[in-house]
Amino acid sequence: MTGVSWFNGNNDNDDNGSKSFSIKEAAQALYPPKQGLMKPTSQQGRFSTLLLEHGEQHIQDWAVIVYSSPISSSANPVFSNVSSPRHKKPPQTTWAQGNSLQSSSSATNKKSKSKSKKKKYDKDSYPSVHMTKIEGRLHLCSKSIVLEPNDTSRPIVRVPFAKMDEPPKEFPSSSLTTTTTGDFDPMCIEFSSTKHIICKANNCIGAFEGVGCSTNFKVTFLHSSPTSCVKLCLQLFQIMQVYKPGHGTSPELEELLKPMLDRPFDPNNLYDVRERPLTSNLRCSLLTPLQQQRGCLVMTQERIYFQFAQGVLEGDSRAMSWHPADIQAYARRYHGLKDSAVEIYWKDQTSTLLALERTHEREQVVRLLPNNVPCHTDREFLLQASQEWQKKNITNYDYLLLVNSAAGRSFQDLSRYPVFPWVIADYTSAKLDLTKESTFRDMTKPVGALNEKRLGYFQQRYESMRDMEDPFLYGTHYSAAGYVLYYLVRSMPEQMLCLQNGKFDAPDRMFHSIDHCYRCVLSNHADVKELIPEFYHPNNDYDFLINARGLQLGATQTGDRVNDVSYPPWAKSPRHFLKMNSKALESEICTQMLPRWIDLIFGSKSRGEAAKEAHNLFHRSSYMGPSDLAALSTPEERFQAELQATEFGIVPDQLFIGPHPLRHQTVDDSFVKPDIGRTSFSGTEEGKGEGAWELLETPSTNFMDHPEQDQQPEFLNPIPTNSSESDFESEARDRHHPFNELYGNGPSPQRSSRKSDRPGIPLSGTGDLSEKSDRTGTGFGGIPPSLSNASSFSAAPLSPTATDHANARASASTEWDIKFIEKSRIHADTVSGCSVISGTGPNNQSILATTSLDGGLKIHNVSFAAKEAEGPSKQQGITSTLSRFSYITMSRAAGSSSSQPKLAEFRSHTSRDALACLALISDGHGGKIAFAGGHDDVVFAYGITSGCAVASVYSHRDAVTGLDVMDRPSFVPESKLWREQSTHIMVSGSWDATVKVWSVIVSNGETVSIDREPLAELFDADSSIVCVSSACVPNEESVVISAGCADGSFCVWKIHGDGVKVVMHKEQAKRGSGPCSVLKWSTMNGKLHLFTGFSTGKVASFTLKDGSMKKVSAASVGVAVQCLAYSENILLVGCSDGGLRLIPTREGAQFTTDLSLWPSVNNKSAPGLSCLSMSFVGNPADGSGKCICCTGAEDGSVALFELKRAHR
């Protein structure tokens, strides 16, 4: 197996010199946590969202003093203002005869009832009805008001809005007379309810108790006016009147919560004022079992911050933070059925589960995590874990934890809790013999098939359902939140109460005996549950088996109190029971059967026909995933489907497609499913087109001057092919996603490599050469075929379908080849800019310039052979339409293709801070100048021939993240914009959210002068600038400037010759859209077009017409866009998965549907492409013209290649 090794023994250090983690450390990060370590929350005291109804939101809280009193016919004067029609006494009837007797009897009954009622709701038994000056906090929630006394001996009181006749009102009200208002504090509210709920009396955990006494509550606010609380209560009360249970969160409630959820990150939460955010405010939820704390996530170069969303009103914005150096591992996770969460494991044996709103946001966070920690859901990690298990370097327990984690299971998510098997079948013997096979459960069968008689019942029922759409064997699952809490009720009682609406289960149904539990799973038709990891914990943590909290769990029908779990006769104590369980799991007999059980849960027998044959078929809801959720049309349907799946139980992700090898067998990668890891956007809920190539907006020509020019250029016409589709291509087409493992049978591209100790400045600027004379190519159609000795690789276009993006099929209509010239890792960190300058002279030497976050600016000489022979050398590479790019194969081919290196270092310059952007120009006399900007807020010019910095300017008050330089058109006269001697205009953008325009003079000998004062400063951006691009308007003295922002917005300005600045276009940010990562201007036939790329995977094109920007086309490439380049009707898009996409365009920047893809362009580990340039060298007229492209990646590597039409 090739690829990155995370474990000591395989590879002590990675490519960057970072320490690897041992396999034992990786497994121990997954050990069951102590329950006390699983409570990161913004709430203080006894209140918890576990006390609320399912899906209820905490909104705001205040310090208050509480009074309460029961409602009676002769109301207390204090509460005389509260009128409730339902509490009025009915009129009494007077009878004509027997009046005295009836009156006497009635009086006796009244007195008896009065005494009974007084006794039932007296002050001692029900203190919540008789509260006097009780200090505490009022928690306003979406469905109720919760009163939390500071005195822990008093119970917490929850008053549902559904039990109120009217919403709380501020007291005194304007309708009251002056005489009555004198007795009241104006800082209070009043409300009444027919029923309230109490819990945690004496700070003890127990079943919630409903108090059916009609009660009035008066609440005095200590530090603020109650007006805002009353307004919120009124809104929530009205929302609850129309709320339909089972429909999720209402739109009205979401609108009410919007100010809280959209609150920006407070810079005061930063540990160091020098920290700079690497992400925008990402809406995020911090998940613990059955709890969801909403807030926002921000990552800086130093820490990870989660700011709690506390209150819709302005208030304290507290945050918790973590240091990336404390990360031990991470894993991609689900949030319900949405594939948008990430779990981070820390060195202190705790973990944090963060649920983002969208998959691309999760991937943005993942890409900023350190590269020297393992990802449990990566395919290569799972392969190496299997190898370590084969070598007996890890135990069965450790391996099962790793497999569970790879399949999306987490201790923080009860609906996807790790699954472990029943191993022992003997719970009655006095002594356990682990050498006898009869001691062990048959692990080749699922639990439902262990009892042949019961299996016959399931099969008979299955036959009766054959006419149904999806018949099933088992109507219950082997792992669900209820089953997990069945085992853990003693250690997680609050979660059980939350799940059971404030009650413990009936005592006879509670977990009280190991033997009774096992007999149930063998005989009960509704019980096929497996076990959980706690039963095999190596540290023998038996808290879940003993009632250490003294919970009142009731008594069974036989009169036995439910207390500690009774263990088998062969166990001397709970600790000894776990020890024997662990020994059984690690025994030789279990080890031999374990792979067959893995096949049932995580492998080939977990789904489909194989599951049916293995009697392992469950209800259809247990197989639902993100793609099924996205296919549902309404929010209600999605909510119901997600609720059903998470409550019923979800089958883990399938990891293996073949039988899992036994321990003594050799492991290769053939049995592991190729597309595990969920590194793409396949099948997400984020809308159609996110998972595959899709043309979002059909090209239109309504605003084009010459629609007849919109025909496809000749060089884009389809080439007929006679080659038939191979078996490999057919198999590749049928896989789940066209971008995953479509191009070969090697390991799938995994998480990209990056260094974590460098500031992660947003990258921009492809470094395209601004000297127009260097771009002399006439299009790919004008370049005759020329073959080099370097490897040749092809990509087939992927055609979108309107109904099934996940199964987009490859078409052979048009094909493109890239012929690699050189691949090399020339930087120690992300390459932030690259550009190729065409050369002249007998050696035909060109120049490659690159900048990097390692602070380096490097210049390399590039040698191209004038004419290369066509012939056998072509076959050294892979030329299949569906080729998978092996880094080893490509490097060997490239290295053996020529006797001399194609890339030789010529100059280098080192800055003490990271360089984030690059632009290159010519001085018009053979000299070349590189402009670079970075973290030190300075832009400097570097003379390539002279080998030194020739000018610099302190440009911004924060890091420079975007840079572009324009040549002065020959026809432009002197003006405020174009000064007398200026030859160029430089545009810079920064984290300080400003764009500045500078006058530059470049003369012979690489002499550069940059004015100290900018020509213009643009302040219209809404957030930090990520990238900039500029262009001269044809036949005008004006220029257009565009800037992409971190929040996903972008601005376009026009600066006229007289210096007047106009905002031509402002694309507003959409919630959760991610940064506008790159934009690029291009001139075609006298028209200006703008291409934009976003981290959502969206690419869009605009045209400048009649002084305004008009949208032309939009498409989704499925993964985050990080760089792009345009020339000659070809748009190249570099993405975060390391793939390069080619989108042909028609006249007017209209996208065609023939996307081509080359995965893993820079190397096999598929680092994200961070910069891209495209230029022409040579002369197309004599056959020497070439389109040369360069890609820079996050691992510091560059790839130099020729792009051309494929000729078959």
Position 1183 scores a pLDDT of: 58
pLDDT tier at 1040, thresholds 50, 70, 90: very high
pLDDT score of 1106 more than 50: yes
Cα-based distances in Å from 583 to 540, 785, 1010: 11, 68, 75
| Contacts for 618 with CB less than 8 Å, ≥ 6 apart | 472, 473, 474, 477, 649, 651
Order of strands, edge to edge, in the sheet holding 831-837? Answer: 831-837, 845-852, 856-863, 903-910
348-352, 399-403, 817-821: least confidently modelled range: 817-821
Mean pLDDT of 1195-1205: 86
Checking 1104-1112 for CB contacts under 8 A at 24+ apart, the result is 1104/1033, 1104/1040, 1104/1064, 1105/703, 1107/1054, 1107/1064, 1108/1064, 1108/1065, 1109/1052, 1109/1064, 1109/1065, 1110/703, 1111/697, 1112/699, 1112/700, 1112/1148, 1112/1149, 1112/1150
Residue 696, pLDDT score: 67
pLDDT higher than threshold 70 for residue 1020: yes
Residue 596 pLDDT exceeds 80? yes
Phi/psi of residue 123, each to 5°?
-65, -35
Q: What pLDDT does 44 receive? A: 58
Contact in structure between 891 and 2 (CB atoms under 8 Å): no
Please tell me which residue, 1177 or 201, carries the higher pLDDT value.
201
Give the model's pLDDT for residue 981.
87
Please say whether the beta carbons of 603 and 443 come within 8 A.
no
pLDDT digits (tens, 9 = 90+) for 912-929: 889 999 999 988 888 899
* Listed ranges 241-250, 397-406, 458-467; the one with the highest mean pLDDT: 397-406
356: enclosing H helix or E strand: strand 351-356
Question: Which of 3-7, 268-272, 661-665, 1077-1081 is predicted least confidently?
Answer: 3-7
| Per-residue pLDDT, 176 | 43
On the question of pLDDT at 9 being above 50, the answer is no
Q: By three-state DSSP, how is residue 1018 classified?
A: strand
pLDDT of residue 720: 35
Does the pLDDT of residue 545 top 60, yes or no?
yes
Q: How confident is the model at residue 617 (pLDDT cuts 50, 70, 90)?
A: very high
Task: Indicate the pairing of strand 144-149 with strand 188-193.
Answer: unpaired
Percent of the chain past pLDDT 90, that is, above it, reads: 45
901 upstream amide cis, omega within 30 of 0: no
Computed over every residue of the chain, the mean pLDDT equals: 78
Q: For residue 159, what pLDDT band results from cuts at 50, 70 and 90?
A: very high
Query: Of 33-47, 102-116, 1141-1155, which gets the smallest average pLDDT?
Result: 102-116
- How far from the centroid of its chain's Cα atoms is residue 161's Cα? 35
Lowest-pLDDT choice from 228-232, 352-356, 689-693, 862-866: 689-693
pLDDT of residue 1130: 87
pLDDT at 842: 44
Instruction: Give the pLDDT score at 1181.
Output: 57
Q: What average pLDDT does the segment 527-534 reach?
A: 95
- Identify any residues that bridge with 531 across adjacent strands, giving them in sequence order: 420
Buried b (16+ CB within 10 A) or exposed e, 44-80: eebbbbbbbbeebbbbbbbebbbbbbbbeeebeeebe
Determine the pLDDT at residue 190: 93
Q: Identify the residue with better confidence: 434 or 186.
A: 434
- Residue-wise pLDDT for 776-818, tens only, equals 333 333 323 332 333 444 444 443 333 333 333 333 334 677 7
Q: Is the pLDDT of residue 746 over 50?
A: no
- pLDDT of 1069 reads 81
Q: Find which of 436-440, 1143-1147, 1195-1199 is predicted with most confidence, using mean pLDDT.
A: 436-440
Q: Which residues of 856-879 are buried (b: 16+ CB within 10 A; e: fewer)?
A: bbbbbbbbbbeebeeeebbebbbb
Kindly indicate the confidence band of residue 864, based on its pLDDT and cuts at 50, 70 and 90.
Answer: low
pLDDT at 752 exceeding the cut of 80: no
Position 583 confidence tier, pLDDT thresholds 50, 70, 90: very high
Segment 690-722, tens digit of pLDDT: 345 667 665 444 433 443 343 333 333 333 333
Q: Which of 346-350, 490-494, 1201-1205 has the lowest mean pLDDT?
A: 1201-1205
Residue 683: the pLDDT is 37
- Each residue's pLDDT tens digit, 822-850: 888 999 989 999 998 876 544 556 889 99
How many other C-beta atoms lie within 10 A of the C-beta of residue 294? 18
Lowest mean pLDDT among 178-182, 323-327, 555-559, 948-952: 178-182
Q: Could you read off the pLDDT of 31-68 as tens digits, one per residue?
A: 887 654 444 555 557 899 999 988 888 988 999 999 99
Using a 10 angstrom Cβ sphere, with 0-12 exposed, 13-18 middle and 19 or more buried, the burial of residue 1021 is: buried
DSSP state, residue 439 = G
Please determine, for residue 75, whether its predicted confidence score (pLDDT) is greater than 70.
Answer: no
Average pLDDT over residues 609-622: 92
Rounded to 5 degrees, what are φ and ψ at 277?
-70, 140
* Cα–Cα distance for residue pair 73/59, rounded to 1 Å: 35
pLDDT of residue 12: 42
The answer to whether residues 161 and 236 touch, using CB atoms and an 8 Å cutoff, is yes
Q: Which of 1196, 442, 495, 404 is nearest to 858 (CA)?
A: 1196
For residue 644, how far is the Cα from the chain centroid? Answer: 23
Asked whether the predicted pLDDT for residue 764 surpasses 70, the reply is no
| CA 632 to chain CA mean position, Å | 21
